Amino acid sequence: MYAIFVTGTAGSGKSLLTARLLEWYHSHDVSPISVNLDPGVSKLQYDPDVDVRELIDYYSIMEDYNLGPNGSLILANDLISTKIGEIQDRVQELNPDYVIVDTPGQIELFAFRSSGPYFISNFYSDIKVALFTMDGTLATSPISFVSLMFLSQSIKLRLNIPQINVLTKRDKIIEKLPEILRWSNSIISLQQSLDLEKEIEQSLISKDLIRTLYKSGNMISPIAVSNMTMNGMINLSAALSRILTHGEKE
């Protein structure tokens, strides 16, 4: 059994990508199941096979602990790791080839607290991979692109499993896409675009950080995908199978 953890910032398209991956694998004769790990989500674009909301009730937490919406969401997210046994049992009963795990909306509550990394490292599967979804519409300026690449590195550091960057909402950024991909391939191109944004005075440290990103081989081109048209899905599934079936590291 292979596990795909779909991570990314709020609204970047994690849940819709989960729905699309399910459809994709179903239509390619692979049996996938979905796990929703977001205790605070109200509506999902797919019908989860295993749902953390059956184990953690965000609204009861609010009442029982007299918490506001934010406090309740933090506690609900922190409780995810305590449910790993039950979630694992339910997944095991379904015995799928692939398990696609949709992670909580607010990535900081999952990846930057102990619950998310604990869940990922202790969840049993043969190979694990993380997708980091970057909202394409938020990556159209060079500085936001770089910030997202740094965030991606930070998530990789926290989760410590092979990771693929996925640029979502490709359908909304068709004209800008070649330039975004150039930034990830060439530091000169990125530097030129950054220099054109005159209001951004780059400090030496940020220049050093950007150089390090390229030099360390961590400025990997994201795979651009549209969850609306499915454009790019074939590239994403190829990248996934390179890691999952051949054990390649991204």
Ligand X SMILES: Nc1nc2c(ncn2[C@@H]2O[C@H](COP(=O)(O)OP(=O)(O)O)[C@@H](O)[C@H]2O)c(=O)[nH]1
- Partner touching 162 among Mg ion, ligand X, none, CB below 5 to 8 Å by kind: none
Minimum distance from residue 96 beta carbon to ligand X (Å)? 21
Using CB atoms, what's the residue nearest to ligand X? 13
Binding-residue pattern over the window 219 to 248 for ligand X, x denoting contact by CB under 6 A:
-------xxx--------------------
Minimum distance from residue 85 beta carbon to ligand X (Å)? 25
- Best CA proximity match to 132, nearest among 7, 4, 1: 7
* Interface with ligand X (CB under 6 A), residue from 34, 168, 184, 237: 168
Q: Judge whether 60 and 87 are in contact, CB under 8 Å.
A: no
CA Rg, the chain, in Å?
A: 19
Is residue 104 involved in binding ligand X (CB under 6 A)? no
Is residue 15 involved in binding Mg ion (CB under 5 A)? yes
Is residue 165 involved in binding ligand X (CB under 6 A)? no
Is residue 36 involved in binding Mg ion (CB under 5 A)? no
Biggest CA–CA distance in the chain, Å, is 57
Interhelix angle for 177-185 vs 142-159, to 10°? Answer: 60
b/e map 137-168, b = 16+ CB within 10 Å: ebbbebeebbebbebbbebbebbebbbbbbbb
Q: Judge whether 19 and 143 are in contact, CB under 8 Å.
A: no
Other Cβ atoms within 10 Å of 244 Cβ, number = 21
* Interface with ligand X (CB under 6 A), residue from 54, 171, 179, 250: 171
CA–CA separation, 216 and 26 (whole Å): 37
Please name the amino acid found at residue 156.
Answer: K
Is residue 13 involved in binding ligand X (CB under 6 A)? yes
Nearer to ligand X, 171 or 250 (CB): 171
Minimum distance from residue 248 beta carbon to Mg ion (Å)? 28
| Interface positions with ligand X (CB under 6 A) | 8, 10-16, 105, 168-169, 171-172, 226-228
